Structure 1
Amino acid sequence: MKHNLKYFLFAIFLITALVYQGCEKATPDNWKWETITTNGEPTARHEAGFVAYKSKLYLMGGRRINPTSEFDPSTNTWTEKSPSPIELHHFQPVVYGDAIYIIGAMTGQWPNEKPVDQIIIYYPERDEYVYGDSIPKHRKRGGAGAVVYKDKIYLVGGIINGHMNGFKPWFDEYNPKTKEWKTLTDAPNARDHYQTMVINDKLYAFAGRTTSRITKEDFSLTVNHGNTYNFLTQKWEPVTNDTAIPTMRAGNSALAWNGSIVIAGGESMVQEAAHNQVEAYNTKTKLWSKWPSLNQGRHGSGLAVIGDYVYTASGCGKRGGEPELTTIERLQLPKGNATPLTEIADTTPVYQQYNTLTIPFEGPETSETDAINPFLNYRLSVEFQHEDSKQTIRGFYAADGDAAETSAKTGKIWNVRFTPNKIGKWTYTAKLHKGDSIALTDDLTIGDLIPMTNAKGNFIIVNSDKEGDDFRGKGRLEAHKGYFKFRNTNDYWLKVGTNSPENLLGYVDFDDTYRMKSEAREGEAAATENIHTYAPHLKDWKTGDPSWKKGKGKSLVGAINYLSSKGMNSAYFLTLNILGDGKDVWPYVTPDNFTRFDVSKLEQWEIVFQHMQSKGIVLHMVLQETENETMLDHGNTGPLRQLYFRELIARFGHHLALVWNLGEENGPASWSPIGQNDKQRKAMATFLKETDPYQHPVLLHTHSEDPLREDILNDILGFKDLDGLSLQQAKREEASTVVETWRKKSKAAGQDWLITMDEIGMWHTGALTDTQDANHFSLRHYALWGTLMSGAAGVEWYFGAKQPHNDLTSEDWRQRDHLWEITNHAKVFFNTYLPYWEMQPKHSLINSKEAYCIRKVNEIYAVYLPKLGRYTIDLREASGDFQIQWYNPLTGGPLQTASVKSISGGGIRSLAIPKELSATKKNTDWVILLRKNVEKQL
């Protein structure tokens, strides 16, 4: 094998040498850039456009409103032309017809530049700028790459919030003739501050960065690997390691020449001076080569060809904005290719950390209803190996591999989904076994091995380019000492969201989804004959968002957008409500056969789940209802329940933010006397913990009152496989006490339960609509601030069963618009000002049973006061001075100060709400923040 590899490498070397020898002389003698002496100078500028039009060069835009500088190479003369109509910078100009188009520019000052919302067109021969078509509202950005291909203009990447954040992988097509915009598939990598090029029906995007001033990473997040889009197949090609640019930089210039993409100049954190390196990627050999370096390093300009020369001009000579240059350089273009930097291209696939890989395998042809059940009698297992760890992940039957679009029920594709958590090189080995009920066993040596394609492979994982709320930029959520935390970090996460509608997935656009005959029991909402359409949220779907089957799914995706826009980050939903209230959600082909799964429906669920994760919304996956908890295996974790859990884990367990909920109102009750017992619920939890390779949190949804709830929970206290409670509470006035009680009990039992307040009563009322309860005072008092300040890890809102827009029929989350805002105010306060995971509730420090207090002794205290009154706080445990600031739980906003700016520890102190705050506000409740050494903390 070693000898074969040796001969192979030698052969490649010889072929490469012969190829180069057979070319015309690759480079001119004394090949180097020449700085030209010119007649006149251009207006110095950077973040500008530089482009050739016919026989002249044009330097356009840049910081400030600048004249257009025209250069004539035949006379080496600069001429000043008309200024741009507005400040235009961070764009790549393209020539189309008799004009130069500027699409995807920024305007305004650093770092909060705004994307220009129109195309700007310059006609060189008329020396005239005009405004062109509008850019779609939801696709505006600057710093993108632009290129012309077959009479259409393509825009790739860019950033929506100046230099602050908002870098995108977007890809759009604009047709100047028809004025139409078309959204195309996102690029594999987000990037901004770069330029793109086309060669032989392929678009290439190299270099650039993901600018993030908000995290003080303006220059450092340079993008290592390039992306290639094939216009003929209309797909992005897999990212491979040969596209790793030798010198990482952004603000670079790019050129397509003789089959190579040339990258010149740029800026990075590696050096203060602008880069002068020029490197070329040969699109045929997939090798990088080195071209002569620029005489003057520069960024924020371009490359343009006239005759036998490539030119660059102006730009900035150092990282940032100074000095702006007036020089112009040129390089004689080679007829061949430069000597490669590497001898063999590394085509190992490259993916991003925390981004899911879906790897397809071609196995035996079968179907959802085949006599040999593909869900029960086949088992795909894939071992993923990193240099210091390995994981075995179950795969699943995927029909034709595109069932979300085709609704296929047959095919020979088997998939595995894997979300890698470690940077570096991975390998995988896949095995497909066949045997009677083999899917139920973890013994990977059992069964007949079935041949399939792609059984072995490797890939490289690099850093994620996702940001903001997107979980793919944060990692996996876990339960940690009573709170949610991102694994292997010190970043905590507070849950706020919706508990309703519980039958979220009973949606008209999912394949084979309908409602069986439904009869409501006392204490529950009555379902209508129709399933969900979410029509009011169709307007919330945005260009570029996912859908399926020519536009299906838009209203539910839009609903997710709306929820995220209000700051919510969790949605509670059932995956199985056969025999339950809605009777419209199940993963099976039919609701009476629990061994056959509906591939296309589950793939459509996955599209929605992926979007939820990108919007920062946790999947609160409720596995059953109280009415059906004994439907599978009489409540045991037998073959049917195991198969159900395994399918959910294989298809959805890869998601970073997912909670397994053992079941709604789990355990027997008067309205559902046949329920699971303690042994059965423990068996479920243990099976999930042992089977889920990602170890997602496992919670139990409770009954609403004691002693029914208490009888069940006392038996499961201290059980290691249960991470906490999804709490239901009938009387909201008692919610804080219940949270604190079970936190104390779980801690005493040796396990800090994560407790979230997920269903507030009474059952018939819950969270009313804004028209019924405009400011939701009792909810924000008792259920929101009361539970969070008692140690709850989050809150979700249940819509009362006897109300319009209830927990089964709700179509429009906007009916509770103000409730979401009020909830977000609490989330912002906790996330911004409190190390809440280090704090403990101590309500007795306040002289009111209606007030709440959470504190870290002698460092920070947060107090909720529900109304005007004479309050005191016992600070005898503390010493020194505390700054006092006020937060409005109804309107949010910044912390406020009043006439009393500090109080001291060592005694009982007054906390009266100041008149200047209480006199002008509609609400009577306030939150007080007491902090010691606040300047140091900030």
Structure 2
Amino acid sequence: MFLIKLNKVSKTQLSAFQAISVTSFTLVNADNEQDIQTLSNGTTLNLATLPSRNLNIRANTSPVQVPSVVFNLSGRQSTTKTENIIPYALFGDNNGNYNSWTPSVGSYTLKATPYSATGGGGTAGTALTVNFQIVDNNGGVITGSLKKWQPITIDFTGPPSSQSSVSPNPFLDYKLQVTFSHAATSKTYNVPGFFDGDGKGGASGNCWRVRFNPDESGTWKYAISFRKGTNVAIDLNQLAGSPVSIDGATGNFTIAPADATAPGFLRHGRLEYSNGLYLKCQDGSYWIKGGTNSPENFIALPFSNHIIDWKSGDPDWNNGQGKGIIGALNYLGSFNVNSIYFMPMNIGGDAQDTWPFAGPIVKSGSSGNDNVHYDINKLAKWEQIFSHAQKKGILLHFVLNEAEAANKQELDNATLGKERKLFYRELIARFGHHNALVWNLCEEYNYQLPIQPSMIKSWAQYVLDVDPYNHPVTVHNYGNPNTAWTPFLGDSRFSVTSFQYAGSTAGRGAEVESWRTKTSNAGRPLPICLDELRVTTTSNMIIQRKEILWPTYFSGGAGLEYYFGSLDQSLQDFRPYEPLWTWTWYARKFMEENLPFWQMQPNDGLLTAESTAFGGGQVFAKTGEVYAVYLPNASLGGTLNLTGVPGVFQQRWYNPRTGAFEGSMKTVTGGGNINIGTAPSSNTEDWVVLLINSAVIVRNKEILRNKGS
């Protein structure tokens, strides 16, 4: 189709115009000169769904003819163009045949200004500016902030189904996998997708969804694999089944750099194994856990006492039913509790109130339960809970089996069969995009119905085969870990411990030190975490602080979680344990703000002459640079052996009960035994002594000064 050329506007004609303006933009198909659509401010153009990728943009004016129009395009691509004859086309034309432009994916700003003379001369009229975005998504609708470390969701229109459909079962007999590849780094993730009903929590629909967490800024490409076949979802063979529907579709999107002001883990990035004794956020620091082990049925409880902690703008559902649990996360986050331990399936266990299945379910456990159809609405609520936790800096400690025999047998009679594989896949597909989580394969794996270590390893392998992000995997033991956890030493499938100890509390520090050595000697040093630490009374909380909390951290332990005994499954108010949350934060804060703890080693033998109450003192040191001493009872002070360690050290006292340094700083000289001296006050209570080499302080100040410049 050809357009008829019109003559240039004469000066006489122009004088009759009251005003000139650009009134709109039209997107044009350069293959056939046909108009596609009006290009309005905020428009998103999807190259994959447009009738052509060969485009142009026309400016429409009032009056229809003006002497000239000057274009300015900026953004992903930029250009300027002056047009004197209609059609006023951004990329020009040849006798009405539009020149072709295939845009790059990204954001753009287009401004067009009419002028009263040719060549952009004379007086400028009223310009028009629009912002628009180009994407290339073949059938996928992308939502999310499009920033590094902030998950995005891509929805595809696939075969309609329902969460109760049997033939085919949308969870088991379809397999959506999406491969994401970074254009510049070639980093690739093969991410499992899932059936999500109507995409809004409804059980029926044609929404097939994938969630992806980008760990690089820049352009990402994706390619869809969509297969159908009996049990194809749990088959690790990428070519299992046959291709259907949206298989082969592709797309891309652009991710902006990380937001330095984003909350929680959205700022710090994925928490991962760092080939050492602490987990580390990929774009942040090394991490120490201080969390709650109770209630183990966290995601099933209403937490009515925490409704008052819910804030306007927080997630909610069913007219207030979500306020309690979201409020509980707000409360925990306000005390810097950074981990919650919970079970997504406790059928046949203690509380018998949590499962992701559509049901009906026999709570006490039954081989007749339908464990291959999932409750889409419930899982949508869980996603809101987990997303809010991540924003509060709270790790998700998924415990995938409970200790009781009936729970262990609920999925495939405790084997790695169809139900268990699908359970793992659904949880990973729906929640694996979160930055900070741990897959704990089984609570007390060696209790009641002992699961053999070889089976635990096979479970771990399947989880890692499905999880594209390689989140840390662990298993929890019953009783003394020296026997129960030894089979996992040196196994690359396990990235952190989840220890339960039998016996007294006073020996925990020594056990942590022993296991740091064991895992290191086995060739895979692991972060040593203690879970299910029993808290019963206020006095017991003090014992926890003196015999477990500080000794664990100062022995090089990477974390701990507290368990509240008989209140475990009914705990709905965290306030009675506020001193414990406070003291745990004070300990973590001391470590994070004052110590290069990931470089330090326990060395209790350096301390003598201290009180032996509560197991005696603890020393955590980076030889020659930093020494931290914990005294559960400071009445006798103590002697620190710095023989052979020259230098001048600054010594300060830190109060574990207030989270502050107290008293005046003093200077001590190394090279021999140092008398720690007397605490600033309450010397029969617990205190921390910090000694830092003055040369280190000067060096650190210089580093900070250079960073500032």
TM range (shorter): 0.7 to 0.9
Letter matched to residue 624 of structure 2: N
Give 1:448 shift.
2.6
2:466 counterpart of 1:691: yes
- Residue equivalent to 1:810: 571
2:307 counterpart of 1:538: yes
2:443 counterpart of 1:664: yes
SS of equivalent residue, structure 1 residue 385: strand
Whether the 8 Å contact between 1:887 and 1:928 is mirrored in structure 2 is: yes
Letter matched to residue 493 of structure 1: W
Deviations 1:105-125 (A, max 9, x none): xxxxxxxxxxxxxxxxxxxxx
What is the distance in 1 between the residues matched to 2:30 and 2:146? 29
Is the alpha carbon distance of 1:540 and 1:638 closer, same or farther for their aligned partners in structure 2, counting shifts above 3 Å? Answer: same
Deviations 1:868-923 (A, max 9, x none): 11411111141111100111000112x3343x702222111111224xx125x8x7
Whether the 8 Å contact between 2:291 and 2:560 is mirrored in structure 1 is: yes
What is the distance in 2 between the residues matched to 1:903 and 1:457? 64
Give 1:755 shift.
1.2
Is the alpha carbon distance of 1:456 and 1:245 closer, same or farther for their aligned partners in structure 2, counting shifts above 3 Å? Answer: closer
Whether the 8 Å contact between 1:768 and 1:816 is mirrored in structure 2 is: no
Whether the 8 Å contact between 1:26 and 1:335 is mirrored in structure 2 is: no
> Mean alpha-carbon deviation: is it higher for 448-457 or for 903-912?
448-457
- Residue equivalent to 1:790: 555
What is the distance in 1 between the residues matched to 2:692 and 2:262? 28
- Residue equivalent to 1:726: 498
2:404 counterpart of 1:610: no
Choose the corresponding residue for 2:277, options 482, 499, 508: 482
What is the distance in 2 between the residues matched to 1:579 and 1:889? 41
Deviations 1:450-470 (A, max 9, x none): 214994321100013253652
- Residue equivalent to 2:565: 800
Whether the 8 Å contact between 2:620 and 2:628 is mirrored in structure 1 is: yes
- Residue equivalent to 1:402: 200
Whether the 8 Å contact between 2:438 and 2:471 is mirrored in structure 1 is: yes
Letter matched to residue 851 of structure 1: G
What is the distance in 1 between the residues matched to 2:65 and 2:573? 66
Over aligned residue pairs, what C-alpha RMSD do you find? 3.0
- Residue equivalent to 1:832: 593
Is the alpha carbon distance of 1:858 and 1:287 closer, same or farther for their aligned partners in structure 2, counting shifts above 3 Å? Answer: closer
What is the distance in 2 between the residues matched to 1:588 and 1:749? 40
Letter matched to residue 486 of structure 1: C
Letter matched to residue 859 of structure 1: E
What is the distance in 2 between the residues matched to 1:15 and 1:558? 50
Choose the corresponding residue for 2:163, options 358, 361, 368: 368
2:187 counterpart of 1:389: yes
Give 1:422 shift.
1.0
Give 1:13 shift.
8.0
What is the distance in 2 between the residues matched to 1:822 and 1:242? 54
1:281-292 map, 5 Å: 287-289=109-111
Unaligned 5+ runs, structure 2:
1-27, 36-53, 79-106, 115-121, 137-141, 362-368, 702-709
- Residue equivalent to 2:366: none
Choose the corresponding residue for 1:346, options 124, 131, 134: 134
- Residue equivalent to 2:678: 913
Letter matched to residue 219 of structure 2: K
Whether the 8 Å contact between 1:767 and 1:799 is mirrored in structure 2 is: yes
Letter matched to residue 860 of structure 1: V
SS of equivalent residue, structure 1 residue 22: coil
Give 1:629 shift.
2.4
- Residue equivalent to 1:896: 662
Give 1:608 shift.
0.3
Give 1:652 shift.
0.6
2:523 counterpart of 1:750: yes
Choose the corresponding residue for 1:859, options 613, 620, 625: 625
SS of equivalent residue, structure 2 residue 237: coil
SS of equivalent residue, structure 1 residue 819: helix
1:851-890 map, 5 Å: 851-867=617-633, 868-890=635-657
SS of equivalent residue, structure 1 residue 817: helix
Is the alpha carbon distance of 1:435 and 1:904 closer, same or farther for their aligned partners in structure 2, counting shifts above 3 Å? Answer: same
Deviations 1:767-795 (A, max 9, x none): 235xx33x932111111101011111112
What is the distance in 1 between the residues matched to 2:206 and 2:130? 42
2:340 counterpart of 1:571: yes
- TM-score (norm: length of structure 2): 0.78
Structure with more relative contact order (C-alpha pairs < 8 Å, separation 6 or more):
2
- Residue equivalent to 1:626: 403
1:511-660 map, 5 Å: 533-590=302-359, 591=361, 592-627=369-404, 628-660=407-439
Give 1:579 shift.
1.2
Letter matched to residue 924 of structure 1: E
SS of equivalent residue, structure 1 residue 641: helix
- Residue equivalent to 2:127: 337
SS of equivalent residue, structure 1 residue 754: coil
1:153-172 map, 5 Å: none
Whether the 8 Å contact between 2:428 and 2:467 is mirrored in structure 1 is: yes
What is the distance in 2 between the residues matched to 1:15 and 1:721? 55
Unaligned 5+ runs, structure 1:
29-240, 247-284, 293-331, 508-532, 761-765
Is the alpha carbon distance of 1:369 and 1:888 closer, same or farther for their aligned partners in structure 2, counting shifts above 3 Å? Answer: same
Whether the 8 Å contact between 1:361 and 1:455 is mirrored in structure 2 is: no
Give 1:930 shift.
0.5
Is the alpha carbon distance of 1:286 and 1:710 closer, same or farther for their aligned partners in structure 2, counting shifts above 3 Å? Answer: closer
What is the distance in 2 between the residues matched to 1:453 and 1:700? 37
Give 1:837 shift.
0.3
What is the distance in 1 between the residues matched to 2:385 and 2:163? 22
Letter matched to residue 872 of structure 1: T
What is the distance in 2 between the residues matched to 1:341 and 1:603? 36
- TM-score (norm: length of structure 1): 0.59
What is the distance in 2 between the residues matched to 1:683 and 1:572? 23
- Residue equivalent to 1:22: 64
Give 1:800 shift.
2.0
1:124-163 map, 5 Å: none
Give 1:288 shift.
2.5
- Residue equivalent to 1:680: 455
What is the distance in 1 between the residues matched to 2:76 and 2:325? 38
Choose the corresponding residue for 1:467, options 256, 261, 266: 261
Is the alpha carbon distance of 1:18 and 1:290 closer, same or farther for their aligned partners in structure 2, counting shifts above 3 Å? Answer: closer
Letter matched to residue 879 of structure 1: P
Letter matched to residue 906 of structure 1: G
- Residue equivalent to 2:174: 378
Deviations 1:627-658 (A, max 9, x none): 12243233322222111111111011111001
Letter matched to residue 881 of structure 1: V
**How many residues matched?**
590
What is the distance in 1 between the residues matched to 2:462 and 2:379? 22
What is the distance in 1 between the residues matched to 2:328 and 2:284? 31
Give 1:447 shift.
1.7
Deviations 1:261-298 (A, max 9, x none): xxxxxxxxxxxxxxxxxxxxxxxx97433889xxxxxx
Whether the 8 Å contact between 2:476 and 2:498 is mirrored in structure 1 is: yes
SS of equivalent residue, structure 1 residue 732: coil
The structure where helix makes up a greater share of residues is 2
What is the distance in 1 between the residues matched to 2:488 and 2:527? 14
Deviations 1:744-774 (A, max 9, x none): 11111111111112222xxxxx2235xx33x
Identity of aligned residues (%): 35
Is the alpha carbon distance of 1:505 and 1:724 closer, same or farther for their aligned partners in structure 2, counting shifts above 3 Å? Answer: same
Whether the 8 Å contact between 2:403 and 2:443 is mirrored in structure 1 is: yes
Deviations 1:685-720 (A, max 9, x none): 12222221000001121223x3xx322222221111
- Residue equivalent to 1:217: none
Letter matched to residue 414 of structure 1: W
Choose the corresponding residue for 2:239, options 424, 442, 445: 445
Moved over 4 A (4+): 4-15, 17-21, 23-28, 241-246, 332-335, 347-350
